[in-house]
Amino acid sequence: MDEDAVRDLLREVEDPDLGDDIVSLNLVNGIELDGESVHVSLALGAPYSPVETAIADEVRQVLGNAGLEVELSAHVDEGISADEQVFPGVENVIAVASGKGGVGKSTVAVNLAAGLADMGARVGLFDADIYGPNIPRMVDADEPPQATEDETLVPPEKYGMKLMSMAFLVGEDDPVIWRGPMVHKVLTQLWEDVEWGQLDYMVIDLPPGTGDTQLTLLQTVPVTGAVIVTTPQDVALDDARKGLEMFGKHDTPVLGIAENMATFKCPDCGGEHDIFGADGGKRFADVHDMPLLGSIPLDPAVRSGGDAGKPIVLDQDSDTGEAFRHIAREASNNAGIVRRRTQQ
């Protein structure tokens, strides 16, 4: 069997999202044959996403059925050298944003990151809310970063995530009172002077709104895509629209909408109540032709898990945990679509 024959076999494998076979879509970087063994490099960029995992499994099956021993690797070449990258070892940067506060954006960021790590991915969680950092509390992380001889920081880890937050660097009750230029300087230092290592996903929890932090991020970091968090309430949706426009003006893909605080199921009567309205996130996603990543119920266990530092996404017996796991799967799938489209 030669390389052309292997390539013909790979035409049997289709990308369900892009609607063609992986050869026609330029998702095969290279093929190396050595007797009955073959190494195939695939242009897949979202590790552990269900869709890309299924594509890789189908490649193994098709080639294995032809009697070949298969070894796979994955790499998406986007034409950016390591010297030009803010996070040279990070495959995907996912920004979690909201138009207004109080919609559970940090909760979604924590559970998204923990869900990706639970899938097996190497994950970093960056708390970019300079003025109100609370990620360390939400994952029960009190170990500060360590400094190296080169004056870089080694981030602490919790639940398989590497963490960085201003909360590690200031006193517990000390307010951060800075103007925009200082915010830009500190964020840039934290991105560049932290030894993140090799990560599949960096989840960045942005402060609410469309201010200095968001502008710094979009101007300096190659963001794979954004997750916009909203509640079903019209007031929240109005502000979410502003966040959507902000990412659009900076040509940043939106991976989808996460609707938080949806239906509340009363533990006493069993009835369901739409405290903040019904299907607002779905309507918002439909109007703007955006994917709805999922809806998260209004569940007291989310609050208690956040206060106790135990992300509910890790509770395999929780329906709400499954809602967050669904969002993690969908966000990673959509990040993969964004990355694979760069090969077209």
* Model pLDDT for residues 221-242, shown as the tens digit of each residue: 889 999 999 888 766 777 787 7
Instruction: Quote the DSSP letter at residue 68.
Output: -
Across 82-87, average pLDDT: 66
CA distance 204 to 128: 6
The CATH 3.40.50.300 portion of the chain extends over: 82-339
pLDDT of residue 249: 77
Structure token digits, residue 79: 């034409």
pLDDT of residue 87: 81
pLDDT of residue 81: 52
pLDDT of residue 176: 58
Phi-psi domain of 21 (left: phi exceeds 0; alpha: psi -120 through 50; beta: other) = beta
pLDDT tier at 201 (50, 70, 90 boundaries)? very high
- CA 102, 103, 109, 111 dihedral sign is positive
The CATH number that domain 3-74 falls under is 3.30.300.130
pLDDT at 169 over 80: no
Q: Residue 215: which of 254, 257, 250, 244 has the closest Cα?
A: 250
Global confidence as pTM: 0.91
- CA 289, 294, 297, 300 dihedral sign is negative
CA distance 185 to 146: 20
Q: Give the ranges where the chain is alpha helix by DSSP (H).
A: 3-10, 50-65, 105-118, 135-138, 180-192, 212-220, 234-249, 280-287, 300-308, 319-341
| Chain mean position to CA 326 | 12
Q: Could you list the residues known to form a binding site for ATP, using ranges.
A: 99-106
Contact 103, 236 (CB under 8 A): yes
Q: Could you list the residues known to form a binding site, using ranges.
A: 99-106
CA distance 1 to 20: 24
Q: Please name the amino acid found at residue 127.
A: D
199-205 and 123-127 beta bridge pairing: parallel
SS percent in the chain: helix, strand, coil, step 5: 40, 25, 40
* Model pLDDT for residues 90-116, shown as the tens digit of each residue: 999 999 998 777 888 999 999 999 999
The CATH-assigned architecture of domain 82-339 is 3-Layer(aba) Sandwich (3.40)
CA distance 59 to 323: 30
Instruction: Quote the DSSP letter at residue 207.
Output: P
* Model pLDDT for residues 244-300, shown as the tens digit of each residue: 788 887 788 999 999 998 887 766 676 676 666 677 778 888 888 889 999 999 888
pLDDT, greater one: 290 or 175: 290
3-state secondary structure of 135: helix
pLDDT at 34 over 80: yes
pLDDT of residue 24: 97
Contact 104, 298 (CB under 8 A): no
* Model pLDDT for residues 302-339, shown as the tens digit of each residue: 989 999 999 999 999 999 999 999 999 999 999 999 99
CA distance 49 to 255: 13
pLDDT of residue 151: 83
